[in-house]
Amino acid sequence: MTGPRVSFLGAGLTLGGAEILRGVDLEIAAGYVHAIVGPNGGGKSSLVRALLGQAPHSGEIAIDWPGAPGVTAYVPQALDFDRGLPMTVTDALAAMTARRPAFLRPAARDRDAIVSALARVGMAEKAGRLVGALSGGERQRALMAQALIPEPDLLVLDEPMAALDEAGVAAFETLIAELKARGATVLWIEHDLAAVRRLADRVTGLNRSVLFDGPPAAELTPERLLTLFSHHPAAAARTSVAALRRAGSGL
């Protein structure tokens, strides 16, 4: 199975009287790692929520599978849960991924899949830890692990690296390479422009509508970064310098 092609045609979204997205035309090619970048509040998370059917949109959003529909997985920006929940990481993953009632022990096959997914995100030793005791980066790794069960054909990631340390970033990069080698389509919201330059096949700038779209090396120019993240002059100067530093020497 290879991943699907995803297309947005004149997509719009209005929430509580506010226009969040307008006339979004965008194509995510099958098997591509496609990054979405843009300023805070630009509508990136809303775009993926619309794609996942969680927000009412206008226009057209289509997922074209090469054959029968495959597996779609989503890694949200953060996980809201009760910190006092007496549940281990393994139990939480079982509840999120298994098709059995949560009060039954996970089937052996499901347990194997959980062990393997946790190992892929470097969390093998944390399998028995209570979810409420996880650090921010560990929670993010656990969220990534749930998206690997079963192996996804379309993976939607909302800032998956925000809390990751260096080892976490390395594990994430390996995973993306593995998914890409399998032909999965990855739609990836990211603020780390250097990572986008390293890993993405294509990048789209979004601020309510599409600002630019193309290969990262061609699109993430210094001028582009200046305008993309400039809200007011002093913040713009700070942000652009930081963004340029992060984007690395290739610029």
Ligand X SMILES: Nc1ncnc2c1ncn2[C@@H]1O[C@H](COP(=O)(O)OP(=O)(O)OP(=O)(O)O)[C@@H](O)[C@H]1O
Nearest CB to ligand X, comparing residues 4 and 42: 42
In the complex, the smallest distance separating the C-beta of residue 112 from ligand X, rounded to whole angstroms, is 35
Residues whose CB falls within 8 Å of the CB of residue 86, separated by 6 or more in sequence, listed in order: 130
Residue 2 CB neighbour total at 10 angstroms? 15
Do residues 187 and 28 touch, judged by C-beta distance below 8 A?
A: yes
In the complex, the smallest distance separating the C-beta of residue 189 from ligand X, rounded to whole angstroms, is 6
In the complex, the smallest distance separating the C-beta of residue 35 from ligand X, rounded to whole angstroms, is 13
Nearest CB to ligand X, comparing residues 14 and 88: 14
Q: List residues binding ligand X (CB under 6 A).
A: 15-16, 18, 20, 38, 40-46
Nearest CB to ligand X, comparing residues 40 and 249: 40
Nearest CB to ligand X, comparing residues 36 and 94: 36
Do residues 12 and 51 touch, judged by C-beta distance below 8 A?
A: no
In the complex, the smallest distance separating the C-beta of residue 203 from ligand X, rounded to whole angstroms, is 14
In the complex, the smallest distance separating the C-beta of residue 49 from ligand X, rounded to whole angstroms, is 7
In the complex, the smallest distance separating the C-beta of residue 202 from ligand X, rounded to whole angstroms, is 18
Q: How far is it, in rounded angstroms, from Cα 119 to Cα 145?
A: 9
In the complex, the smallest distance separating the C-beta of residue 99 from ligand X, rounded to whole angstroms, is 30
Nearest CB to ligand X, comparing residues 39 and 216: 39
Nearest CB to ligand X, comparing residues 110 and 188: 188
Nearest CB to ligand X, comparing residues 37 and 134: 37
